[in-house]
Amino acid sequence: MTKLSVNINKIATLRNARGGNNPNVVQTAIDCERFGAQGITVHPRPDERHITYKDVMELKDVVTTEFNIEGYPDDRFMEIIEKVRPAQATLVPDGPDVLTSCAGWDTVTNESKLSDIIKTINEWGVRTSVFVDPDIKMVEGASKIGAHRIELYTEPYASGFSEDKVKATASYVAAAKRAKEIGLGLNAGHDLDLNNLKYLKENIPYLDEVSIGHALICDALYYGLENTIQMYLRQLQEH
């Protein structure tokens, strides 16, 4: 079964808007796991506009499922990964001034840089995942630099889903098949929601994990967090 990792960045955004500790990020992570989430994802940006360094250190001690820390691999990020030793480190190419991830790595151009970073993280016993577009060359590049997995950037899929599902999925299917052939695990994330997740799961083979935050938290405002997590898990069930 494809695992659901809940990205709790937006919980921290809401907390930071008012100050204090409401909602409680750590308790939310505990509750997400209790409600069925199979992983917790955070993206501790340098400006701490949502998840903070302190949050990550506190989460390290309470997350009992899979802790996935994503971010741009600068010195601060590497320090966090070395200290926390999460289950997975997901490398994204966006710098600190970017609002949200908007493209995958060029794993060919950045081969030398990423190879050294991934080698270090792998030596810490942390699974590495590289955020890439659904491009065969980028998938093959991720394998060449030593990553364990790729995370397919699914915003283009989400954008094209309502117009032409088959067309929107085609490049992802090809990327997934190539990843499987060369021994890469497969994650996916960005703009996945209750409308498009089931189709993605049914049509993209070998999907190990999806990371979902924004849409899931928005849905939770209407449906409640426990019910929403269950709704997302049902989209990922095998049939």
Q: pLDDT tens string for the chain (239 positions)? A: 899 999 999 999 999 999 999 999 999 999 999 999 999 999 999 999 999 999 999 999 999 999 999 999 999 999 999 999 999 999 999 765 554 556 799 999 999 999 999 999 999 999 999 999 999 999 999 999 999 999 999 999 999 999 999 999 999 999 999 999 999 999 999 999 999 999 999 998 899 999 999 999 999 999 999 999 999 999 999 76
- Specify the pLDDT at position 103: 78
- 83 within 8 A of 92, measured Cβ to Cβ: no
Report the C-alpha gap between 9 and 185 in whole angstroms.
Answer: 24
Tokens of 33: 């796991």
- 42 within 8 A of 70, measured Cβ to Cβ: yes
- 10 within 8 A of 215, measured Cβ to Cβ: no
Q: H-helix or E-strand containing 207?
A: none
The string of DSSP codes covering 53-100 is HHHHHHHHTT--SEEEEEE--SHHHHHHHHHH--SEEEE----TT-SS
- Specify the pLDDT at position 219: 98
Tokens of 155: 């915003």
Residues 6+ apart with CB under 8 A from 111: 141, 144, 145
Report the C-alpha gap between 152 and 154 in whole angstroms.
Answer: 6
Q: How crowded is residue 22: how many other Cβ atoms within 10 Å of its Cβ?
A: 9
Closest CA to 185 of 160, 168, 161, 210: 210
Report the C-alpha gap between 14 and 150 in whole angstroms.
Answer: 29
Residue positions annotated with a catalytic role = 43, 70, 190
Statement: 3-235 belongs to CATH 3.20.20.70: yes
- Specify the pLDDT at position 210: 98
- 195 within 8 A of 161, measured Cβ to Cβ: yes
* Residue with token string 């630099």: 145
Report the C-alpha gap between 150 and 187 in whole angstroms.
Answer: 6
In 92-184, DSSP assigns E strands to 127-132, 149-153
Q: What is the DSSP letter of 204?
A: S
